[in-house]
Structures are given as C-alpha cells and as structure tokens.
Amino acid sequence: MTPARRSGPAVIIWVIAALALALLVLPLLGILLSAPWPHLPALLVAPETLQALGLSLLTGVISTFCCLVLGIPLAVVLARSVGWAVVPRRLLRAAVTVPLVLPPVVGGLALLLLLGRNGILGKYLAQLGITLPFTTGAVVIAQTFVAMPFLVFAVEGALRGADRRVELAAASLGATPFQVFRTITVPLVAPGIAAGAVLCFARALGEFGATITFAGSYPGVTRTLPIASYLASQTDLNQSIALALVLLVVSVAVLLGLRDRWLPGVRG
C-alpha cells in the first residue's frame, strides 16, 4: 500500500472527527458568546444562583457517595458474572445499563411510582412517617439512579484489568473474603473507582429529568442548578445563561480532574 493511498482515508476521518467535535463544542461556545458578561457578576452572586449551586454540589457529593457504597459491590458481582449462565448474566447487565439509555423523566416517574406517597414501597414508608418525593432526599435518589452505571462500569472495567490472582495470595495469608475485598480488591481498582466517582459526580450534577419528576422544583430544597437554569430560561434568558455557565464551568473543571492522577501511590 502506498503512503498516498493510506493518507486518503485518514483525511476523511480527520474531517468527520472535526465535524463531530464541532457538534459537541460549538453549542457550548454559543453559551460563552451569548453570556451577558457585563451583568454576570451580579447574576452569579444572586441568592437563587448560590442556593442552586450549593444544593447541586451538596446533593452531587452525597449521591456520588451513595453510588460508591452501593456501586462497588455491584461492580464486583458484575465482573464475576462472567461465569454465570447467559440469561441471568445478560439480565444483570441490562439492569445496570438501563438508567444510561432510559429517558431520565421515565426514571423519575418510575421512582415516583415506587417511592411516591401512594407508591408500591412509598405507602409503607408513609406509614413509618417517611416521605421521600419532593424532598432533598428525592434529589439524591434520582441522581444516584442515573449516575450509578457510570461508577459500576468504570469499576468493573478496572476489576477486569486487574490481576485477580493476588486475591488468592491474600486468602492464603488468612484474609477472609471481606478482608480481601477491603484490603486488596478495592485498593487495586482505586484508579477505576476515582474515575467512576468523577463521572458519577458530573452526571449527578447535570441531572434534570428524573429530579424534576420525582423531586420537583422547590427553591433551596430540590431546585438544583440545571432545574434553576431551565426555569430561568422561560422568563429571564440572561439568568438562565449565567446558571448554565456555572454548570458548564463546574462540569468542565470536574472532568479536567479526570486524569492519571489517581494512579495508586505505587507508581508515584
């Protein structure tokens, strides 16, 4: 094959890749270009903005924590499901993947039907005096629901890449299965856990559909940044753009942190 023939497809690929990148980046540039820069300082320190930002960060951190506690064991089970029969293995994988492909509004509706005041589980919770819908707790549940797959898949990938035989070595030294999990498995996949947590937090931060359906939009209680931005876009576009800008900056900052920095100390 001649160099000239090889460079042909490469150029087309470069052009298409550039188009794809433009589709991803140009709309964001649009936000920057239309931002009401002169009014921005005032809009950013407005109580509604700070309230929404604070709520978003708080719920994002809590739901990321929930994803870590619940998602790491789920990732372990998923990684070990390789040896299972086909049907349960595929069902498990589908169940973990569903929140990724489901419209978040549907997820929110499902949560409402399950945990709402007259919901399947919700009515029992109500008897115990626990009401979830339209509370900050509901925001956390909605975010955990949509963000969990990001964590599970990142950790599962790390588990598959790790040399699991060191777990046998740990067992031969007297470690129980839970001790092996805590002292060997988790540290071994720490980079995957960190990467998953970052993606999880970014997804939770941007969560809109499930939150507004299941938790509503009460200022200071459930009105997170994306919801505040959407509501403002109906009345005050400048306010909406300012909120969107905050969301964009926080998200990009979080994702820029997603680098090699969490490689375990062993390599540092």
Partner 1 sequence: MRIERADFPTSVTLDVRAGQPLALVGPNGAGKTTVLHAIAGHLPIMIGSIQLGDRELVELAPEARRIGVVFQDFLLFPHLTVADNVAYGLRMCGSGRKPARAATLPWLERFDLSDLAGRYPHELSGGQAQRVALARALAAEPEALLLDEPMAALDVEIRDEVRAQLADHLRDFAGPTVIVTHSAADVAALAADVVVLERGAVTQRGTWESLRAAPATPYVARLVERREE
Q: Site residues (CB under 8 A) for partner 1?
A: 163, 165-166, 168-177, 179, 183-184, 187-188, 190, 264-267
Measured from the CB atom, the residue of 48 and 167 that comes closer to partner 1 is: 167
Question: CB of 184: closest distance to partner 1 in angstroms?
Answer: 6
Measured from the CB atom, the residue of 8 and 187 that comes closer to partner 1 is: 187
SS3 of residue 215 by DSSP: coil
Measured from the CB atom, the residue of 188 and 250 that comes closer to partner 1 is: 188
Question: CB of 179: closest distance to partner 1 in angstroms?
Answer: 5
**What is the 8-class DSSP label of residue 257?**
T
Measured from the CB atom, the residue of 27 and 265 that comes closer to partner 1 is: 265
Lookup result for tokens 């626990």: 130
Lookup result for tokens 């929930």: 66
Question: CB of 50: closest distance to partner 1 in angstroms?
Answer: 40
The amino acid that residue 138 corresponds to is A
Question: CB of 183: closest distance to partner 1 in angstroms?
Answer: 8
Measured from the CB atom, the residue of 24 and 266 that comes closer to partner 1 is: 266
Measured from the CB atom, the residue of 6 and 267 that comes closer to partner 1 is: 267
Question: CB of 161: closest distance to partner 1 in angstroms?
Answer: 13
Question: CB of 76: closest distance to partner 1 in angstroms?
Answer: 17
